[in-house]
Amino acid sequence: MSTTKTRDLARPAPAKASPAKPRRGLRGSPTFNFWLFTGPFLIGLAIFVYAPILWSLWLSFFEARFTVTPDKFVGFENYTYMLTNDDFVGSLVTFTVFAAFIVPTTWALSLGLALLVNRLRFMRAFFRSVFFLPTACSYVAAALIWKMSIFSGVRFGLMNTVIGWFGVENIAWLADPNPPWYWLVIVTARLWLQSGFYMILFLAALQNIPGELYEAAAIDGAKPGWQTFRHITLPQLRATSTAVILLLLIAAYQAFDEFFNLLSKTTWGRPPLVELYYKALGESQDYGSGSAGAVILTVLICAVTLLQGKFMGFGRGDESK
Amino acid sequence: MSALSNSNWSRRSLFRAAAGMAAAGSLAACGGNNGRSGGAGSGVDLTQFFHAYGEAGTEQAIKKYAKAYDKANVTTQWITSADFESKLFATLLTKNAPDLFEFHPQIQMIKSGQVADLTDIIDPVKSDFNPADIKSHTVDGKIYGVRMIDDPQFFFYRKSMLEKAKVEVPTTLDELMEAAAKLTTGKVKGLYMGNDLHNVINPMIWSAGADTLDAKNQIAYHTPGVIEGIKKMRKLFTSGNLLLGAPTESWDPSSLNQGLCAIQFCGMWAMPGIQKALGDDWGVFPFPKTVDSGKQSVYNGGWSMFVNAKGKNVDAAKEYVKWLWIDQKEYQEDWATSYGFHIPPRTSIAQSATKLKSGNAAEGVRLFNEFGHFDNIGWTQAMISSLEDVFANSVRKDMDPEAALDKADTAVNRELKKLFG
């Protein structure tokens, strides 16, 4: 009897794609994935940001009244008009005053809040949320609350009620520019809206400072409090501070909502964007001059940002350096 | 493991959900705010823009009229007052521009081809319209809008407060200033003219015997009388007798109704609301003489319906305008007298409107006829802004009126040169 051994048993299993083997083709291509994820964003950026900027640049050289497809080329006439316009130049002064108020106060307040919240042992999350929540509020809504409830000029406005307890007459906070109480209204509204956001940035930076630095300082005899804050905390926050100041400055340039809603059709307290809206866009429909003003403003923001970054050392290195 | 990966979501179900949402969005868009329950009219869709009127029932009335029209599907956009002009102008540049919109007659809209010529639909009934309204909508013999309502604006006062303070109804700006001083008490200010004072700019100019532009479309506001008037307004502004920082602007009668002031500048539209709040304890008077050589004045504002000349359905829009604002006299009277009070621009309707024949409404009509000044079609938005700046700078900020007017002249002349060459 012969026995036969089948060799099939030793045959390897039918070929199967190895699970470890990377997929080929487009979906496996890093280039495809790059465009898949960034493409929609880039298309949006091109359509909604770069195209309008280029269109605005083009419009600024045309007589574009009541149309955004003009045909009358005027060269630099719109630029000359805007640069010799007292109101537009005045709006840059307004911005400077506003930035001089709002940038340091927001920086100081948000840093103070961050230090305060960082040291809290109880209800830390609650206070972080409380200070951060105003960031979620619309500038328009906040402006209307400030205008109609808190700083209303009549006797039942909150501030007028409070000062009335001390025998002070009602103040028209926003209607009368002398004295310029409107700055108090604008600055407090923006402080309330912004400080929470920057507090979070400082809080993150504070938590990145190594504890060993404070321990070493303590061993070297540094007193906790002001001395430690000045010589350790503040230098460690340098990069964050620079970024915060940069962001605050840009936000100040872009100020529109609260000014527009708090100071309706005044000639004072007009930052550049409000001035551009009233003088060149908006009701006048002079899109040529408006675009020229926007280009001037863009160049100015870029120049100031670069200079500020250069002076404050933005991006020079780690926070500790 | 994330919640998402643990669920039954697949790419196919995600696509299905997205398609469903898109379909739901389309269906929701079909609904619109046209007041219809689902009818589609003749297949022609028209969109009309209205600023948000303050009087209750106005939005429903406009939608009711649109619903009654069976030759097109008319949709209404009701836009917050403060945003109306900027939204209208911005939208007119796009494909989403309305087919019809209400606004004031302004020549730049005609020169730039934004509004259609409506002469053919108005001509047959031209003689029944207030001639001043026709004039204010006419350029080179063509009529570019149909006036819907005329809105005279004047001062409203509390009779009892004036009697108590022994104050006569003022006929000059000096008397108005004295009255404001006497009427100011601890809780009540004598006078309210709006927080920005914009509504009294033109009346003050007319009451000084001047005008915005003359018949040749040249500056007519820069006069000694106007300069004197601006100085008086500055004195009034700093007197402490003017209500400032009120929660609502002067178009809203709340400040007078709530006892924040004794006299308020407002429009005839507010009469029903004031009557309801104050009973018969109120009266009206025109803007007083700014200077001795001037004359009392009333600004006859109002709103007109225009057709977007670059719209897709110009003829259908003109047909709707003709149907509603020329043929439907019942709706026109309803619009003018059932909510706020306005004067119908059609003489036949104005004469038969019973609500305007007695009391303060009749007095308002008298002031309209005797002291009224109408819109000047050559006085554009940019020029309006220039004089608003004069008031902001001189009255509210103490700039020299002569210098402020010089600055306005530069801006107005630039505008005039572009419009008339």
pLDDT in tens, chain B (421 residues): 333 333 444 444 444 544 444 444 443 333 344 444 334 456 899 999 999 998 999 999 999 999 999 999 999 999 987 778 888 988 998 889 999 999 999 998 998 899 999 999 999 999 999 999 999 999 999 999 999 999 999 999 999 999 999 999 999 999 999 999 999 998 899 999 999 999 999 999 999 999 999 999 999 999 999 999 999 999 999 999 999 989 888 999 999 999 999 999 999 999 999 999 999 999 999 999 999 999 999 999 999 999 999 999 999 999 999 999 999 999 999 999 999 999 999 999 999 999 999 999 999 999 999 999 999 999 998 899 999 999 999 999 999 999 999 999 999 999 999 888 8
Smallest CA–CA distance, residue A194 to chain B, in Å, is 26
Tokens 């010529």 belong to residue: B117
- What secondary structure letter does DSSP report for A3? -
CA distances from A105 to A256, A258, A273, A319, B149 (A): 19, 17, 22, 22, 51
Q: What is the dihedral of CA B405, B411, B415, B417, to 10 degrees?
A: 90
The Cα of A257 is separated from the nearest Cα of chain B by a number of Å equal to: 13
Q: Mind telling me how many Å the CA of A28 is from chain B's nearest CA? A: 18
Question: Which residues of chain A from 34 to 53 reach within 8 Å of chain B, CB to CB?
Answer: none
| Packing angle, helices A287-312 and A238-253, rounded to 10 | 170
Of A152, A171, A284, the CB nearest to B385: A284
CB-based contacts of B3, cutoff 8 Å, min separation 6: none
Q: Distance between CA A65 and CA B16 in Å, rounded?
A: 46
Q: Look at A174 and B245 and tell me if their CB atoms are within 8 Å.
A: yes
- A66 shares contact with chain B (CB less than 8 Å): yes
How close A188 gets to chain B, by Cα (Å)? 18
Residue written as token pair 């007292």? A86
**Is residue A154 helix, strand or coil?**
coil
The SS3 of residue B1 is: coil
Q: Taking CB atoms and an 8 Å cutoff, what residues of chain B touch A155?
A: 187
Best of B112, B244, B249 to disrupt the A interface (most A CBs within 10 Å) is B244
The CA distance from A187 to A100, in Å, is 11
Does the distance separating the beta carbons of B244 and A172 come in below 8 Å? yes
Contact A266 B196 (CB under 8 A): yes
Q: Which residue among A153, A155, A267 places its CB closest to the CB of B397?
A: A267
| Chain pair A-B, CB pairs under 8 angstroms | 83
In chain A, residues with a C-beta closer than 8 Å to the C-beta of B83 are: none
Q: Report residue A142 as tokens.
A: 């906040």
Q: What confidence tens digit (pLDDT) does each residue in B219-230 have?
A: 999 999 999 999
Q: Rounded to a whole number, what is the distance in Å from the CA of B127 to chain A's nearest CA?
A: 33
Chain A nearest-CA distance from B245, in A, is 4
DSSP state, residue B288: P
Angle (CA) B335 B338 B344, round 5°: 45
CA of A92, closest CA in chain B: separation in Å? 18
CB B345 within 8 A of CB B304: no
Global pTM reads: 0.82
First to last CA, chain B: 73
Q: Mean pLDDT, 10 residues at a time, over chain A (321 residues)?
A: 43 51 65 90 93 94 89 94 90 88 94 91 86 92 93 91 92 91 94 95 93 90 87 92 90 90 87 86 83 91 82 59 42
State whether B108 and A172 contact (CB < 8 Å). Answer: no
Please, what is the Cα angle at B252 between B289 and B290, to 5 degrees?
Answer: 10
Test B196 with A65 for CB contact under 8 angstroms: no
Kind plus residue range of the DSSP H or E element containing A188: helix A182-207
Q: What is the dihedral of CA B327, B331, B337, B342, to 10 degrees?
A: -50
Q: Which of B41, B148, B34, B26 lies closest to B98 in space, CA to CA? A: B34
**A-chain residues within 8 Å CB-CB of B195?**
153, 174-175, 264
CA distances from A31 to A25, A44, A62 (A): 11, 19, 41
Q: Which three-class secondary structure state does DSSP give residue B82?
A: helix
**CB within 8 Å: A266 and B392:** yes
DSSP at A137: S
Q: Which residues of B touch A (CB under 8 A)?
A: 82, 85-86, 89, 93, 108-109, 112, 114, 187, 195-196, 198, 237, 243-247, 260, 381-382, 385, 388-389, 392-393, 396-398, 407, 418
Distance from CA of B254 to the nearest CA of A (A): 13
DSSP 8-class letter at A22: P
CB B145, CB B114: distance < 8 Å: no
Instruction: Considering only the beta carbons, identify the residue of B93, B246, B396 that sits closest to A154.
Output: B246
Q: What pLDDT does B4 receive?
A: 36
CB contact under 8 A, B198 and A176: no
Q: What is the pLDDT of residue B357?
A: 95
Q: Return the number of other C-beta atoms located less than 10 Å from residue B356's C-beta.
A: 24
Cβ(B168)–Cβ(B118) below 8 Å: no
Show the tokens assigned to B34: 């046209």
pLDDT at residue number A315: 58
Residue B48: enclosing H or E segment and its boundaries?
strand B45-51
- B244–A284: do the CB atoms touch at under 8 Å? no
List C-alpha distances in Å: B233 to A290, B160, B187. 32, 26, 22
DSSP codes of every residue in A148-183: IIIS-SSTTSHHHHHHHHTTPPP--TTT--SS-THH
pLDDT of A60: 95
| Tokens of residue A36, six digits | 């898949």
Q: Which residues numbered 87-126 in A keep a CB inside 8 Å of some CB on B? A: 87
Q: How many residues does chain A have?
A: 321
Query: Quick one: pLDDT at residue B162?
Result: 97
Question: Do the Cβ atoms of A266 and B109 come within 8 Å?
Answer: no
Cis check for the bond before B286: say yes or no (omega within 30 of 0): no
Which chain A positions have a beta carbon within 8 Å of B382's beta carbon?
Answer: 283-284, 286
For residue A62, give both structure tokens.
């045309």
Q: What end-to-end distance do the CA atoms of chain A give, in Å?
A: 89
- C-alpha radius of gyration, chain B, whole number: 24
A67 and chain B: CB distance < 8 Å anywhere? yes
Q: What confidence score (pLDDT) does residue A164 get?
A: 92
Q: Measure CB to CB from residue B381 to each of A153, A154, A284 and give the nearest one.
A: A284
Element (H, E) at B164: helix B159-164
CB B265 within 8 A of CB B134: no
Residues in chain B: 421
For residue A277, give the chain B residue with the closest CA. B86
Nearest to B112 among A67, A86, A267 (CB): A67
Nearest C-alpha of chain A: how many angstroms from B29? 24
Determine the pLDDT at residue B315.
Answer: 96
Distance of CA A272 to the CA centre of its chain: 16
